[in-house]
Chains A and B, each alone.
Chain A
Amino acid sequence: MTLAIERTSGDTVAKPLAVQAVRQKRKNERPAWEEPPTVAGQAAKGITLGGVMLVMLVPLWIIVVTSLSTQAAINRAGGLVIWPTDITFEAYRVMLADSTVRSALLVSLGITAVGTLVSMVVSVMCAYGLSRSRSLGHRFILMLLIITMFVNGGLIPTFLVVTGLGGYGEWWALILPTAVSVFNILILRAFYSSTSIDLIEAARIDGAGDWRILWSIVLPTSRAVTAVMALFYGVGYWNSFFNVMLYMPTDSEKWPLQYVLLTYVNRGNGMPGSVNSGFGDQFSQTAPLALQMAVVVLTLVPLLIVYPFVQKHFRTGVLTGAIKG
C-alpha cells in the first residue's frame, strides 16, 4: 500500500519542469494540425475567463476604493463606492492611530514571523532527515507522519491537551499545535530526494556531514519550493483566527488582525474592555464604512506584497509536480 503523495517522491517530481518548458514552446503558436478557432468559440471563452477574473477582482476594487473615500462620497453613493471621486487617507490615519488595530497588526505580524520561522525550521529539517533513501528508521518515521493525516484526536482532545499543558492564553498555543504540516513536509521531501543528488554525493566524498549538506547544498538549490512552503505556512498563521477563539477569546490585547476583522467588521460588535479608545468611539467621528474597509485592506496588504514574488514559482511546476502525484 503506497500513498498517492508518496508515490510522487523521487522520479516524477522533476518531470513537470521539463514538461512545462516544452509546453511553453509549443503553446506560443497554434500547431499546424489544429483547426482555426471559431469567432463564437473565442468570444465565449474570452467572456467566461474575463468574467471569472472580474468576479475575483471587482469586490477587491470596490473595497479599496471605499476605504479611500470621504464620508460625503460614501453618503452620495449610498454605501460602497465604485468610482473614486475624492480620495482621502483619513480612514487609514484613524485606523493606524487606533490602539486596537495597531496592537492587532503587531500581534499578527509577530505570530506570522515567529510561526513561519518555527514551522520552516522544523519542516525543512524533518524533510531532509527523511529524504535520504535507506537511512535508518526513515520508513517508520514517515509512517508516523502520514498516519496523522488520516487519524487525529479531533478538536476537543487537542484542546484539552493544549490547555492541559498550560497553553490557555499563551502565545505558543497559537503556533506549536499547528506548526507541523505533514503535507508540506512530504512536498519538501519529494524535492530533496530528487534534487542535487550528484552535488550531495560529491560533498559527502569531500567529508561534509548531513547538517552541512542541508545548509549549503540542499537549501540553496531548492529556493523555489522553500519560498512556496514559507508562503503556505505564513498565510496559515496570518489567516488563523479559530485558535484565538479557542485559547484567548477574552484577551483582546492578544487578538490578531483577523479576529479584529471578525469582531468589528463582520459582526459589527463594539469594543469590549475599552470605552474611550478603540473603534466604538472612532465610529462616530469618521466614515465608519471607510474605516471598516480600511481594516479589510490592511489584512490584505501583506499578502499582496508577498504574493507576486512567490506565485511565479507556482507556475514553474514546483507545486504541480509535487501535488500531482
Chain B
Amino acid sequence: MTTLRSDRAGRPAKLSWRIRLRRDRSLILMTLPAVVLLVVFNYVPLFGLATAFQEYDPLAGVWQSTWAGLYQFERLLGDSLFWGALKNTLYLSFVQLILFFPVPIALALLLNSVLSQRIRNFFQSVVYLPHFFSWVLAITIFQQMLGGAGALNQFLRSNDIGTWDIMTNPDTFALLVTSQVIWKEAGWGIIVFLAALAAINTDLYEAAAADGAGRWRRLWHITLPGLRAVIVLMLVLRLGNALTVGFEQFLIQRNAVGHDTAEVLDTFSFYYGIATGDYSYGAAAGLFKSVISLLLIWGANKLAHAFGEDGLYRK
C-alpha cells in the first residue's frame, strides 16, 4: 500500500511499453475524441496556411491551386488598408493596456479591504455577471444607454443640452471600446488578483503593523510585492496578445464607426479574406499576425525573466 501511495495513481513507471499500453489503454482511449477534434480543427488548418502562399481557388482546393510564393505578403505590405488595420490594432491595444489593465488590480485591492464577507460576495456576483454576456448583448446595452436614441441622449435632449452620439464617433472610438471592455471584463479580471491576495501571509501584515507601518506602507511593501508575480504573468499575456484586441466587438461596431478607425487585424482578415472571397490574401494577413504574436509572447517572456519572474513558462 505504501509503495502504491508514493506513486499517486499507483502506476509503477519502469515497465515495458507493451504492459503500459495494456494497462493505460482506456486512459488513451478517453483522450481520443478531444485529440481527433483538435487534429481536425486545429492541426489540419495549420497545413491550410499553405493557402497564404497560393492564389487559392475554392473550386480547385489547396492541392490544385496555383502557388504564388510571397505574392500575397507583397500585396499586404503595399496595402494602406492593412497598415491602417495594424496601426488601429496597436493603438487600441496600447489604450487598453493603459486604461484597462490597472482597473481589475485596483478593484481587487479595494474589495480585499472590505471586511464584510456578505458585501464581498454580493459585489463579486454582480461584477462577474457581464463577463458572461455576449458581445452582441453588451454592445446592444451600450447602444441603448449611450447611442443616438439611448438613455444618455434622451436625458440630454429633455434638458436641452444637445446630443452626443458616442457610438458612431470615430474620434472617441478607442475610449468607447475600452470602456466596453472595462464594463464587461474588469469584474471578472479581479478573480486572479483576489486569489493572489488571499495567498499573502497575514502574519506579514501583523508584523509590519507592530513595527509601525501604516496601511499605505503595508500596501506598498507587502501587498504589491505579493501581487507581483501575477501582475507580471497577466502583463506577459496582454503583451503577447497585443495584436488581438477583441474580434467580435469590432466586427459588430465596424460599420457604425467606419473601417478607418474600427478595422483591426482580425476583422481585416475576415472582410478581405472571407467576405470578399480573397482567401489567400486573408490567410496571409492571419499568418502575418500569428507570427508576430508568437514573437511577442517570446519577447514578453524574455522581459519577465529579465525582471526575475517566471512569466508564462520557466527558463
Contact = CB atoms under 8 A, between A and B. Distances in A.
Interface of A: 1-4, 7, 15-16, 19-20, 23-24, 26-31, 33-35, 45, 48-49, 52-53, 55-57, 59-60, 62-63, 77-80, 82, 121-123, 125-126, 128-130, 132-138, 141, 144-145, 148, 150-162, 164-165, 176-180, 182, 185, 193, 197-198, 200-201, 204, 209-211, 214, 231, 235, 238-242, 245-246, 258-259, 261-262, 265-266, 293, 296, 299-300, 303, 307-308, 311, 314-315, 317, 319-321, 323-325
Contacts of B230: 324
Nearest to B280: A156
Interface of B: 4-5, 7-13, 17, 20-21, 23-24, 26-31, 33-35, 37-38, 40-49, 51, 56, 61-62, 107, 110-111, 113-115, 117, 119-121, 123-130, 132-137, 139-141, 143-145, 149-151, 154, 157-158, 183, 187, 191-192, 194-196, 198-199, 202, 205-206, 209-210, 214-215, 230, 233, 247-248, 251-252, 266, 269-270, 273-274, 279, 282-283, 286-287, 289-290, 294, 297, 310-315
B178 to A, nearest CB: 14
A125 B31 contact: yes
A267 B67 CA distance: 40
Q: 4 closest pairs, A vs B, by CB?
A: A153-B45, A157-B48, A129-B30, A239-B134
Contact of A238 (B51, B115, B134, B187): B134
Contact of B192 (A60, A182, A320): A320
Given A136-B24, A164-B61, A242-B248, A150 B294 contact: yes
A152 B290 contact: yes
Given A59-B145, A239-B134, A324-B195, A158 B38 contact: no
Contacts of B61: 164
Contacts of B144: 59, 62-63, 80, 293, 296
8 contacts: A16-B195, A133-B11, A134-B11, A180-B41, A201-B5, A211-B30, A241-B136, A296-B141
A161 B48 contact: yes
Contact of A125 (B9, B34, B266): B34
Contacts of A324: 192, 195-196, 199, 230
Given A63-B144, A136-B28, A156-B51, A4 B273 contact: no
Nearest to A145: B38
A126 B31 contact: yes
Contacts of B33: 121-122, 125-126
Contacts of A259: 136
In terms of DSSP, what is the predominant structure of the interface of chain B? helix
Nearest to A44: B110
A33 B132 contact: no
Contact of B38 (A15, A16, A78, A180): A180
B221 to A, nearest CB: 15
B128 A311 contact: yes
A137 B46 contact: no
Given A16-B195, A129-B28, A245-B251, 11 more contacts: A33-B206, A49-B114, A52-B127, A129-B26, A135-B20, A141-B35, A153-B46, A246-B274, A261-B137, A262-B252, A299-B136
Nearest to A293: B144
